[in-house]
Structure 1
Amino acid sequence: MGGELKKWLVVFVGVVVVSLQCGVRAQPQVPCYFIFGDSLVDNGNNNGISSLAKANYAPYGIDFPGGPTGRFSNGKTTVDVIAQLLGFNNYIPPYATASGRAILGGVNYASAAAGIRDETGQQLGARISFGGQVNNYKNTVSQVVNILGDENTAANYLSKCIYSLGMGSNDYLNNYFMPQYYSSSRQYTPEQFADVLIQQYSRGIRDLYNYGARKVALIGVGQIGCSPNELAQNSPDGRTCVQRINNANQIFNTKLKSLVDVLNRNLTDAKFIYIDAYGIFQDLISNPSGFGFRVTNAGCCGVGRNNGQITCLPLQTPCRNRNEYLFWDAFHPTEAANIIVGRRSYSAQSSSDAYPFDIRRLAQL
């Protein structure tokens, strides 16, 4: 009996070693991950359209295995981090190139300069607004139905997937606080504008629900008033965050969190959560050294005051100590910051990081 057990153990250990050597991994926690957003998570959807909001050139992607893919970072974005934590072996492909059975693992619809409002970002050229992203998702759903055979099977499949939505930043950055191009700040108070955004956002979210979304993470707007671009343009000392912008962002976030309650009450077969990106970023700004950051008010790559007046130029040489910078360019966090935000979105470290719970728990439902 002892000899048989030894033989069995040898075989078992051998199988484990071979599996590890072949790179066999556990299945992802959910079958697919669908991503909606702007340049914070765009991974190539703007590459082929006529837009100034592109990042498919070096030194973008300098720390990313695939080089300059269209990600507005030196490396991974928050959703790349979340996808890895959910157990996906590969990064979620952009809608622009996703095809065939690959879409069954999820699709990234995010578009740089896009907002909840259709006109947002128009001064930068073409972009895919939230409404356009929802329409692209509907197209994907019809493909999923064709692949899986019928609508019921597709609906059951999609109900197990994670959906993350991070919209609204550009509605402030490239709309409300750009009065030379847009009239919204003359039409609405910050309170009214947030209401208008939430109403339109809610309609799109309910549209996604009608097309199968059941596990949805709504990611709040970050501290736009602390970006190198706003510090360069509107901060007297280049260090103090622009409070009127952050205040407007907080009004939106408060209403977005309330929307989560409304959606959970009304759409009881789905679950919606809120991720407090603003609060997580506040931690990084308030205690940078605690997270390994040395520079929080300037981009690692950029031009002008705070490296924030013009964003990272093609073939520009970025800073070397990228992990010590909170911002990669005039607007976007470094991979080092994205890793922290992504991890805390997936698994909350503070009770305020996620409401009513985090993405890890959402995946388990």
Structure 2
Amino acid sequence: MKKQIFVTGFFLFSFMLPFKATAASFTGINIFGDSLVDTGNLFNVVGIPPSPPYAQGRFSNGSIWVDNLAEQLNLTPTLLTELGSTLPTEGINFAFGGATVTGDNNSSPPGLQQQIGFFKNITTIAPADPNALYILWAGANDYNGLFFNTPTIPPDLLPNQVTSNLSMGVQSLFDLGARNFLIPNLPDLGETPLARNLNEFFPSASSQLSALTAAHNSLLDQKLDSLRVLPGINITTLDVNSLVMDAINNPMEFGFTNAQNPCLINFKSGFMFEGVCENPDNFLFWDDIHPTAASHALISKLAIKTLNEEEPASVPEPASALGLLAFGALGAGAMVKRKKKKEVAIKQH
């Protein structure tokens, strides 16, 4: 079957004393994952998603949560596809819409393993910044893809493979020098407009996706817990699943009047739709799987709150300047001029 692109300063003492730190202490942000954190890489390479109505390469109608988080931290990570002659000092966004966790290292768009490979190449030029924040969010495309592609992994084994690869990704980044990680779990994929549409062709799609999400989140917690024994590592988990379920069950409390349907009217696979809703801020979903900017604002607020509640422990070193070697694998043709990002304040609810 034809593959569909979804877019969706501390000193380390020998006794490892943690300290209370705020999110503002991070010196950069490096981002790995799929469309939920891609701020323009896929768009720069292939022009997806269409803009407008999508906002400047984001899979939403405005700023997404990593935009808002970076703004709150007074940091500006550079897109991988916009690296130029000046080495970025505040991190790189390696994420690509459509990325998977279980794909091979030659996948297109680049999957999680390939993205981490790009970062590894960069560390041969400049070391990883231990005081930066490293965000990994992926997996949804692996599960949704079961209904669009011929599975290479049995569905019941997929959560273990996805979470194992995510865990190995954290381990790989740690081995390269990363210390501070923010890892969101997955929202219930069975509660998306996509899942409800799939029910017309696969009657158990919603329930199967919900079960896969639950297994994923449980296994992810277990595997991240096993990594917390690594010296100096700080892993913060972000419970996006609970946030989204609260918004679905109590939409008015979050400022939504519609938590079931996409803002893009009669949205179909391939970015086909018949119009745009009058007020996107009233909707939880922008298309059949991606959040609106208003929903992303809620996620970014949760991220700041959660980070400020954690107690990271890391080794302070000068912030690293990140290089250009990783992008060579994508080809110079994908290089484009950096677009000015629209600044959108975090919406208060």
Place the TM-score, normalised by the shorter chain, in its bin.
Answer: 0.7 to 0.9
Q: Aligned-pair distance for 1:177?
A: 3.7
Which of 106, 112, 126 does residue 97 from structure 2 map onto?
112
Checking the alignment, whether the CA contact within 8 Å between 1:218 and 1:275 is kept in structure 2 is yes
1:301–1:312: 8 Å Cα contact kept in structure 2? no
2:179 corresponding residue in structure 1? 214
Between 1 and 2, higher relative CO (CA 8 Å, sep ≥ 6) is seen in 2
CA contact (8 A) 2:234 2:312 kept: no
The aligned amino acid for 1:337 is: S
Q: 1:332 to 1:131 in 2, by over 3 A?
A: same
* Match in the other structure for 2:219: 255
Query: Out of 111, 116, 127, which is 1:129 matched to?
Result: 111
- Cα separation, 1, equivalents of 2:106 and 2:281: 30
**CA 1:189 to 1:319, structure 2 compared with 1: closer, same or farther past 3 Å?**
closer
Q: 1:30 to 1:130 in 2, by over 3 A?
A: same
Report the Cα offset of residue 361 of structure 1.
3.3
Residue 58 of structure 1 pairs with residue 26 of structure 2: no
- Contact 1:115 / 1:130 at 8 angstroms: preserved in 2? yes
1:78–1:359 CA distance, 2 compared to 1 (3 A): farther
Question: Which residue of structure 2 lines up, in the alignment, with residue 344 of structure 1?
Answer: 302
- 1:243 shift after superposition: 2.4
User: Per the alignment, in what secondary structure is the counterpart of residue 183 of structure 2?
Assistant: strand
Partner of 2:341: none
| 1:259-314 deviations in Å (ceiling 9; x for gaps) | 1210002x1221112111111111110100001101111111143xxx3x336449
Q: CA deviation at 1:189?
A: 4.7
Q: Could you tell me which residue of structure 2 aligns to residue 188 of structure 1?
A: 154
RMSD: 2.8
Deviations along 1:142-181, one digit per CA (max 9) or x if unpaired, are: 34x2xxxxxxxx45xx11010110011111012x343xx2
**Alpha carbons 1:76, 1:338 under 8 Å: kept:** yes
Number of residue equivalences? 291
Where is the helix percentage greater, Structure 1 or Structure 2? 1
Which blocks of at least 5 consecutive residues in structure 1 are unaligned?
1-26, 62-67, 146-153, 349-357
Verify the 8 A CA contact 2:233 2:313 in the aligned structure 1: no
Distance 1:334 1:328, change over 3 A: same
CA distance in 1 between partners of 2:70 and 2:313 (Å): 15
Which structure has the larger Rg?
Answer: 1
C-alpha contact (below 8 Å) 2:286/2:292 kept by paired residues: yes
Give me the TM-score of the superposition, normalised by structure 1: 0.73
- Trace 1:193-342 onto structure 2 (pairs within 5 A): 193-234=158-199, 242-265=206-229, 267-303=230-266, 307=267, 309-310=268-269, 312-313=271-272, 317-342=275-300
Percent of aligned positions that are identical: 24
TM-score (norm: length of structure 2): 0.76
